[in-house]
């Protein structure tokens, strides 16, 4: 019996030891005392932001910007401002291609010794971008026409030129492969004619992507910036992104809320002479999901515009 009790005591001691191992504190100490983080000056010296050479006769130019971090031990992300919002790049080396002209801020945030270190700001000025939408919006025929600008007003028609209506009636037939664009004013809840929008105009300038809106007297209402994408959600032609509302937004009863660059206008039609823009109540594709969808839940505001001759 004594031998059995002795064995039981030894097993209990061994079991207790196995369940309560001695803690290895080296990793904790290393984490709690990681050393001195890199300084901002050291981080700045490790970074480079380089634009490709620009030439007026070249398609590829200063819209290509090469980012490089020569200290890969300091991991982090690049913050790159663009005309369509900030872009985050998690890479030691990458190339960003700007889609709009302008001056943009770039900086790097790295993690060193468990602390975030932020670099200085690098400012890049892009002048080389030229796209078909630049030509249609501003009248510029090449990137060398820096002074090009184009003014737009509401279309000269007896039909409503700005109104709020159902998104569904305009995009009811997805199977056709294109939006079902119907007569201006059909299915509207609130509409405005030329007399009510009172000769408002807006001017798109190529140099610096400047947008200016004017009231009926020709006085400036607001100045801001414009950009675009060729994204085609909901079978549209692209997106017009502005940081100020376009003309007509102060005259029509809007159910949508303009929230700067976060709420782009859909480009439904665009040509040398005419443009149809839409500010949707929702940017989802739900209106197409089911033939039984309640289109009344998907309202949008429409703006029928033409170039000033």
What would the mean pLDDT of 37-45 be, rounded to a whole number?
Answer: 95
- Rounded (10°) CA dihedral 119, 121, 125, 126: 50
Pairing, β 162-166 against β 47-51? unpaired
For 198-229, write each residue's pLDDT tens digit.
Answer: 789 999 999 989 999 999 999 999 999 999 99
- pTM, rounded to two decimals: 0.73
Structure tokens at 298: 């998907």
Read off the pLDDT of residues 141-183 as tens digits, 9 standing for 90 and up: 988 898 999 999 999 988 888 888 776 555 544 444 444 455 5
pLDDT of residue 288: 47
3-class DSSP state of 38: coil
Helix %, strand %, coil % for the chain, to 5? 20, 35, 45
**Domain chopping of the chain, boundaries:** 40-126, 132-307
**What's the mean pLDDT when you consider all of the chain?**
81
Q: Quickly state the pLDDT bin for 292 (edges 50, 70, 90).
A: low
Q: Please give the CATH architecture assigned to the domain spanning 40-126.
A: Sandwich (2.60)
pLDDT of 261 over the 70 cut: yes
pLDDT value, residue 205: 97
Tell me, letter by letter, the H, E, C secondary structure of 51-102. Answer: ECCCCCCCCCCCCEEEEEECCCCCCEEEEECCCCCCEEECCCEEEEECCCCE
pLDDT above 60 (res 10): no
pLDDT at 12 over 70: no
Give the pLDDT mean for 267-284.
88
Determine the length of the chain. Answer: 309
Contacts of 295 (CB under 8 A, 6+ apart): 166, 167, 168, 169, 172, 287
**pLDDT score for 14:** 44
Q: Which of 137, 163, 132, 158 is nearest to 148 (CA)?
A: 137
The answer to whether 95 touches 66, Cβ cutoff 8 Å, is yes
Residue 70: pLDDT band with limits 50, 70, 90 = very high
**pLDDT score recorded for residue 172:** 45
**Which option is the CATH number for 132-307: 1.10.10, 1.25.40, 2.40.128, 2.60.40?**
2.40.128
Q: Is the pLDDT of residue 24 over 50?
A: yes
- List phi, psi (to 5°) of 254: -90, 135
Write out pLDDT tens, residues 101-121.
889 999 999 999 989 999 999
Inter-residue contact 116 to 168 (CB < 8 Å): no
């Amino acid at each position: 019996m004594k031998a059995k009790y002795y064995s039981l005591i030894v097993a209990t001691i061994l079991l207790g030891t196995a369940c309560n191992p001695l803690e290895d504190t080296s990793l904790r100490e290393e984490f709690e005392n990681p050393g001195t983080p890199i300084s901002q000056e050291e981080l700045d010296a490790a970074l480079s932001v380089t634009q490709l050479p620009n030439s007026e006769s070249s398609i590829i130019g200063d819209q290509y910007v090469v980012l490089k971090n020569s200290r890969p031990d300091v991991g982090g992300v690049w913050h790159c401002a663009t005309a369509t919002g900030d872009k985050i790049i998690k890479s030691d080396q990458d190339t960003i291609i700007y889609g709009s002209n302008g001056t943009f801020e770039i900086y790097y945030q790295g993690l060193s010794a468990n602390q975030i270190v932020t670099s200085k700001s690098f400012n890049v000025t892009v002048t080389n971008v030229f796209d078909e939408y630049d030509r249609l919006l501003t009248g510029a025929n090449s990137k060398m026409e820096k002074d090009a600008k184009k003014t737009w007003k509401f279309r000269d028609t007896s039909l409503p030129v700005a109104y709020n209506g159902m998104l569904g009636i305009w995009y009811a037939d997805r199977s056709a492969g294109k939006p079902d664009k119907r007569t201006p004013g059909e299915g509207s809840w609130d509409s405005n004619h030329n007399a009510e929008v009172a000769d408002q105009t807006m001017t798109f300038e190529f140099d610096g992507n400047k947008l200016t809106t004017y009231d009926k007297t020709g006085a400036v209402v607001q100045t801001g910036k414009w950009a675009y994408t060729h994204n085609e959600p909901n079978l549209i032609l692209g997106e017009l992104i502005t940081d100020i509302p376009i003309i007509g937004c102060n005259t029509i009863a809007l159910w949508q809320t303009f929230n700067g660059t976060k709420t782009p206008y859909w480009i439904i039609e665009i040509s040398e002479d005419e443009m149809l823009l839409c500010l949707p109540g929702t940017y989802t594709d739900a209106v197409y999901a089911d033939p039984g969808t309640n289109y009344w839940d998907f309202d949008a505001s429409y703006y029928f515009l033409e170039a000033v001759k």
